[in-house]
Chains A and B, each alone.
Chain A
């Protein structure tokens, strides 16, 4: 199979995730309403309570809300795999004329792209609220979100492959999401966190993504390490997720 036909098939695999997304507008509406309440009720209120020199909490939180939303959406891909196996859809998908590795790649990219479609309007709103209008900057921020979502999709796939029970998976995934967002600088600044968790939070991919997007849109200072942490996270979990899913598929799903 030529590279062109492989890419064309990859596009069709990703397209399925997007077609399903378009047919589920209530999920987008729900997430958007949740986001707007978080931003205009929670963040507005808290920013009036917090009086720290040099910190505009509303602006800080607005970026964090986008990061936490895309993290939450990217985690869904693991649940999708459980559902697809339960409904027997996985048998159908695996019988289609593409290689298993292309399928794995397509699913992880599809999950990430789906997350990006969800949060793009949110990011645009946040940029607008912060008076940021650079197209290239917004595209850069979207790239950061896409990279984070790809890594989170990989983590979700890895967990789905390691945990065979869907109920247990749901619990673990909720804890993972909680840990990733709460033990990070996504919705509060690192220096106000308990000292014991600060080292962990520093290297959280959610911290790296939040800091990068804040650097782009808010002009915050950057340590320069964020892209490294983020790419490392993607490499490890995209690789692990792909390897586990590949192994499960190749070995026969029920073994």
Chain B
């Protein structure tokens, strides 16, 4: 379990992370969302003991980041957003050194390196100096470091940036495998589909603060009144508008030519009720479309920022 308790990290006059409190459970995949400059990387690096928080405390599986830094670092592996390794070295050399420094025994290290290189299809490229490789391949090598290490706490910062679709699916599968083995995963991402697909819970950061934490479903449900049901009916739809507008959860009903646009909370539950009301009044429904808030809407709501 990772516990962040009132963590503040300040750079001169800038509060990069401000009074952040939340918990990541064991074997959980925790998605960390936030616009650029929200403080995600600072929070990760503070947890990894690279930065020292001015206030608050972080514990990783019971070890304090401030007083037991080495114990904490033994448990953490980070795949950085921008690949961080000596680009004069080959992928094999980078992975071997990373495995060695993180304590992976020689034979096991060799086995894992072969396995991860095969998974990523990096046969010939694994012997080239990495500065010669494409952005996607460099990113795969960055991720591969953590897959070779297999730490108790694995941090992935934008793990699928620059990757093609098959590689993205592969990385997601490998992260899930890592979790199945017992790792706790922290996944910082700007990709909503990735966060929604992978995360058990999501935390949204904005301007250094954690503004919301919950499962993707909980966060979406938190945006009450933002579901939209569009019902296309034969005849005159305004006949049904007033009655539908009296339902407690309905916020607003707009009339369009041949259709009603209903703004409400919990559209999924109320949809049958609305259909029944229209049918009871003799209306014939041509089509129904339910639009629920997406994680992107949630993100927009809490941060006021669109993701790049």
Q: Which residues of A contact B (CB under 8 A)?
A: 1, 9, 12-13, 15-16, 19-20, 23-24, 87-89, 91-92, 94-99, 250-255
Contacts and interface: CB of A to CB of B under 8 A. Distances in A.
A95 B50 contact: yes
A126 B61 CA distance: 57
B97 A20 contact: no
> A-B pairs with the 8 shortest C-beta distances?
A92-B84, A95-B48, A97-B73, A97-B74, A94-B50, A23-B88, A252-B51, A12-B101
Interface of B: 9, 11-12, 45, 48-52, 69-70, 73-74, 76, 78, 80, 82, 84-86, 88-89, 93, 97, 100-103, 129
Contact of B84 (A16, A88, A254): A88
Contact of B52 (A19, A91, A99, A252): A252
Nearest to A15: B97
A150 to B, nearest CB: 22
B82 A88 contact: yes
Nearest to A254: B11
B78 A23 contact: no
Given A12-B101, A252-B52, A255-B12, A92 B70 contact: no
B51 A89 contact: no
A91 B50 contact: yes
B69 A91 contact: no
A98 B48 CA distance: 12
B49 A91 contact: no
A94 B11 CA distance: 18
Contacts of A24: 88
27 contacts: A12-B97, A12-B101, A13-B101, A15-B100, A16-B97, A19-B93, A20-B88, A23-B88, A87-B84, A88-B84, A89-B84, A89-B85, A89-B86, A91-B45, A91-B80, A92-B80, A95-B49, A96-B73, A97-B101, A97-B102, A97-B103, A98-B101, A250-B52, A252-B51, A254-B11, A255-B11, A255-B12
A16 B291 CA distance: 54
Counting chain A CB atoms within 10 Å of each CB, the highest count among B51, B52, B73, B102 belongs to: B51
B70 to A, nearest CB: 6
Nearest to B48: A95
Nearest to B70: A99
A9 B101 contact: yes
B84 A94 contact: no
A9 B100 CA distance: 9
A44 B100 CA distance: 48
Contacts of B50: 91, 94-95, 253
Contacts of A255: 11-12
A88 B100 contact: no
B73 A252 contact: no
Contacts of B9: 252
Contacts of B49: 94-95
Contacts of A15: 97, 100
Contacts of A87: 84
Nearest to B77: A95
Counting chain A CB atoms within 10 Å of each CB, the highest count among B73, B74, B84, B102 belongs to: B84
Nearest to A94: B50
Nearest to A90: B50
Contacts of A1: 70
A145 to B, nearest CB: 25
A252 B11 contact: yes
Contacts of B100: 12, 15
Nearest to B16: A254
A88 B80 contact: yes
A239 B292 CA distance: 62
A234 to B, nearest CB: 27
Contacts of B11: 252, 254-255
Counting chain B CB atoms within 10 Å of each CB, the highest count among A12, A96, A97 belongs to: A97
B71 to A, nearest CB: 9
A9 B78 CA distance: 19
A15 B93 CA distance: 11
A52 to B, nearest CB: 46
A251 B48 CA distance: 14
Nearest to A99: B70
